[in-house]
């Protein structure tokens, strides 16, 4: 029995049950961000509180809103607005040493400010585009306008996310004192559950967690932080709701639940199979999830493309404050998007406010009213690319799921996320599913809050799939004994230790795409490295590789293989007598034999590593994630 760290502690242990704990869900979205919480005395989705009081004048007359815009403006770049003195908007409790003292954020940001948004997508800059991505996401900020996908000078995507989340943290901790006393909060440990798109790379997940920690979450002794995929968070809320409150909603053992999480930037699909129903359902991930960067901002970009094609430089020369997120034009368009339905009256046009001084009267612009005018067919065209990709994702996921379900099984599609609020998207999914008797389509009452609620619920109730499907294959490149007539001579070499002929760069795939994995699943590499005694550096590196193809390539020099990162193992301090040695060319060398273990589905939500010699963890292990596309 190996001496591995226990990755999952049952919630009903004595120490857990006798002490209050607060569970916090953090949903950093491309366009909007939300936060939720509940404590260990509560265990259902209806007990999860969602923060609905956000500072800032830009929310208008609304007093309670589910989320705040994922937007930040630095005061150092907005000196003229600082001088006006009319942007102060503090929450009820004073904040000391807050990031909000150096920036505006969320609803505090006004259209005239130099601001940044959609920066969350930049965390996964190195990911290759998929079939389901809006290709313009990979074209950089220049194709979207100032502030969109743009980063401040000298700051990385992780930096700006940390700055924004610092504002969220400070506001949340102040508001939490309305539910608990300051003394109680100080004495109560917290678990933070941060959501990430399931399609994200391991590097992007790690960067998200790092940004949240830098923001102050999990900064107190005793606090913990975990990541949870957005579809899994939505599943925790949806399945809990569907099987709770005595409703059962027709959910049976063997049925499927397909979470269709359509947010601002990404669309993530994951299908689960119900193993047991009732008040405490159990379920597992049925097929490999799929997704793409085709959220509601795809519709916004199509609208902008249409405006640019209709009005040319008269539109493109306009400032961010007139046409960017948060502008009067985009606020109105956002509401039109949500309300738009497939049966919209053909004779009723759509109008958004926009001042363009040099544009004359036409069917598309009314200068006397400063309004852009478009028709139902135009709005359908704005939606078409995003809807097409969402339906293609659904088609693929359903096709795969049906292979593993009985013919009598029902698949319930749960539409959630900010884009899930769109009546038109819901209509199109229902139209697509109408002739398939085995499909049901539902949408929670507040689809934009499903994910952030589910994140907190995951902590308090330990609601999770019993096992997941691995989204990609993982493995290592190794030197193996050369196979004459099979391995390429160009990859051959003579091993210094054994003096045998070896093949370089042969892949050893430990876990295949689609394999079931649990929190204890690990991939391992048995490593032999030569260390020269006159070298004080006892650090060694091993590359971890992945691929998303159905067939795993045999050799490293094959297209489709991506480097996840380089694992660094430091054996400084281990005595030489622990290792074998021999003389080679009048030089004494040592053979370092160890095993690298990588946990793929650790509770932490990110890859975890350790080096082992003789079943005992040794040395210090860390990873440097790959940054090249």
Q: For residue 311, is pLDDT > 50?
A: yes
Same structural domain, 75 and 24: yes
pTM attached to this predicted model: 0.85
Per the domain annotation, does 143 fall within a domain?
yes
Q: What is the DSSP string of 477-497?
A: EEEEE--TTTS-GGGEEE-TT
**Integer CA distances (angstroms), 435 to 387, 389, 396, 439, in order:** 18, 20, 17, 9
Same structural domain, 371 and 399: no
Residue 99: CA count within 13 A, CB half-sphere: 23
- φ, ψ for residue 12, nearest 5 deg: -95, 15
Handedness of CA 85, 91, 97, 100 (dihedral sign): negative
Which two structure tokens, joined as six digits, stand for 79? 């000196």
Residue 219: CA count within 13 A, CB half-sphere: 11
Sheet with 103-105, strands from edge to edge, namely 103-105, 71-74, 116-117
Same structural domain, 25 and 142: yes
Q: Looking at residue 266, which CATH number applies to its domain? A: 3.30.420.40
Residue 361 lies in domain: 296-383
Same structural domain, 184 and 88: yes
Same structural domain, 108 and 193: yes
Residue carrying the six token digits 């040592």: 590
Same structural domain, 597 and 478: yes
Cα Rg of the chain, angstroms: 27
Which two structure tokens, joined as six digits, stand for 406? 């009985």
Domain count, the chain: 4
Give the helix, strand, coil percentages of the chain, each rounded to 5: 30, 30, 40
Same structural domain, 48 and 181: yes
- How far apart, in whole angstroms, are the C-alpha atoms of residue 610 and residue 598? 7
Q: Directed axis angle between helix 376-404 and helix 423-433, to 10°? A: 50
Helices (H), 249-375: 296-311, 313-316, 320-323, 328-339
* pLDDT classification of 104: cutoffs 50, 70, 90: very high
pLDDT in tens, 315-337: 999 988 899 888 899 999 999 99
Of residues 550, 549, 545, the one with CA closest to residue 564: 545
Q: Directed axis angle between helix 157-176 and helix 202-214, to 10°? A: 50
Looking at residue 62, its pLDDT comes to: 67
Same structural domain, 378 and 368: yes
pLDDT in tens, 409-459: 889 999 999 899 999 999 999 999 999 999 999 998 888 899 999 999 988
Handedness of CA 63, 67, 70, 76 (dihedral sign): positive
Q: For residue 140, is pLDDT > 60?
A: no
Per the domain annotation, does 98 fall within a domain?
yes
Q: Which residue has the higher pLDDT, 560 or 214?
A: 214
Strand locations in 277-389 (E): 282-285, 290-292, 350-353, 365-366, 371-374
Q: Which residue has the higher pLDDT, 302 or 199?
A: 302
Of residues 203, 32, 36, the one with CA closest to residue 128: 203
Looking at residue 534, its pLDDT comes to: 60
Sequence-distant (6+) residues with CB within 8 A of 247 are: 241
């Amino acid at each position: 029995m190996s001496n591995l760290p226990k990755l999952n502690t049952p919630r009903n242990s004595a120490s857990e049950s006798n002490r209050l704990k607060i569970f916090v869900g953090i949903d950093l979205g491309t366009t909007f961000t939300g936060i939720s919480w509940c404590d260990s005395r509560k265990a259902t989705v209806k007990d999860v509180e969602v923060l609905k009081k956000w500072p800032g004048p830009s929310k208008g007359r609304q007093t309670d809103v589910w989320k705040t815009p994922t937007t930040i403006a630095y005061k150092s770049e907005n000196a003229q607005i600082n001088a006006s003195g009319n942007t102060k908007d503090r929450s009820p409790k004073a904040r000391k040493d807050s990031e909000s003292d150096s920036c505006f954020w969320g609803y505090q940001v006004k259209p005239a400010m130099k601001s940044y948004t959609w920066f969350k997508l930049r965390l996964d800059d190195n990911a290759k585009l998929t079939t389901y991505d809006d290709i313009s996401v990979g074209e950089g900020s220049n194709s979207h306008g100032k502030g969109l996908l743009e980063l401040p000078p000298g700051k990385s995507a992780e930096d700006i996310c940390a700055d924004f989340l610092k504002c969220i943290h400070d506001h949340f901790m102040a508001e939490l004192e309305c539910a608990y006393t300051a003394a109680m909060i100080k004495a109560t440990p917290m678990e933070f559950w941060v959501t990430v798109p399931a399609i994200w790379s391991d590097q992007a997940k790690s960067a998200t967690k790092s940004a949240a920690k830098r923001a102050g979450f999990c900064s107190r002794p005793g606090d913990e932080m975990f990541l949870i995929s957005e579809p899994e968070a939505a599943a925790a809320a949806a399945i809990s709701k569907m099987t709770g409150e005595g409703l059962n909603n027709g959910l049976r053992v063997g049925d499927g639940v397909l979470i269709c999480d359509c947010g601002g930037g990404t669309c993530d699909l994951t299908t689960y199979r119900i193993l047991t129903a009732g008040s405490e359902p159990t379920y597992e991930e049925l097929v490999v999830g799929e997704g793409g960067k085709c959220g509601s901002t795809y519709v916004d970009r199509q609208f902008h493309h249409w405006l640019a094609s209709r009005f040319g430089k008269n539109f493109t020369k306009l400032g961010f404050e007139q046409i960017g997120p948060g502008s009067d034009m985009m606020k109105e368009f956002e509401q039109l998007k949500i309300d738009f339905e497939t049966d919209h009256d053909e004779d009723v046009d759509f109008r958004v406010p926009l001042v363009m001084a040099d544009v004359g009267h036409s069917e598309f612009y009314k200068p006397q009213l400063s309004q852009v005018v478009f028709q139902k067919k135009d709005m359908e065209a704005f939606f078409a690319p995003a809807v097409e990709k969402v339906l293609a994702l659904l088609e693929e996921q359903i096709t795969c799921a049906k292979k593993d379900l009985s013919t009598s099984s029902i698949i319930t599609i749960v539409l959630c996320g900010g884009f899930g609020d769109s009546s038109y998207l819901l209509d199109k999914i229902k139209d697509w599913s109408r002739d398939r008797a085995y499909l049901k389509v539902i949408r929670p009452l507040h689809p934009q809050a499903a994910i952030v609620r589910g994140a907190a619920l995951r902590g308090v109730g330990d609601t999770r799939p019993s096992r997941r499907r691995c989204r990609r294959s993982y493995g290592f490149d190794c030197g193996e004994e050369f196979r004459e007539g099979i391995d390429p001579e160009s990859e051959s070499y003579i091993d210094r230790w054994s003096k045998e002929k070896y093949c370089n760069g042969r892949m050893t795939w430990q876990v295949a795409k689609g394999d079931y994995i649990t929190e204890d699943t690990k991939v391992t590499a048995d490593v032999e490295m030569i260390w020269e005694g006159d070298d004080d550096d006892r650090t060694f590196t091993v590359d971890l590789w992945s691929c998303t193809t159905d067939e795993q390539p045999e050799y490293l020099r094959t297209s489709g293989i991506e480097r996840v990162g380089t694992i660094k193992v430091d054996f400084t301090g281990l005595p030489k007598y622990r290792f074998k040695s021999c003389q080679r060319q009048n030089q004494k060398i040592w053979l370092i034999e160890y095993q690298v273990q990588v946990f793929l589905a650790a509770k932490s939500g990110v890859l975890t590593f350790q080096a082992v010699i003789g079943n005992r963890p040794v040395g210090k292990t860390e990873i440097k994630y790959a940054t090249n596309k």
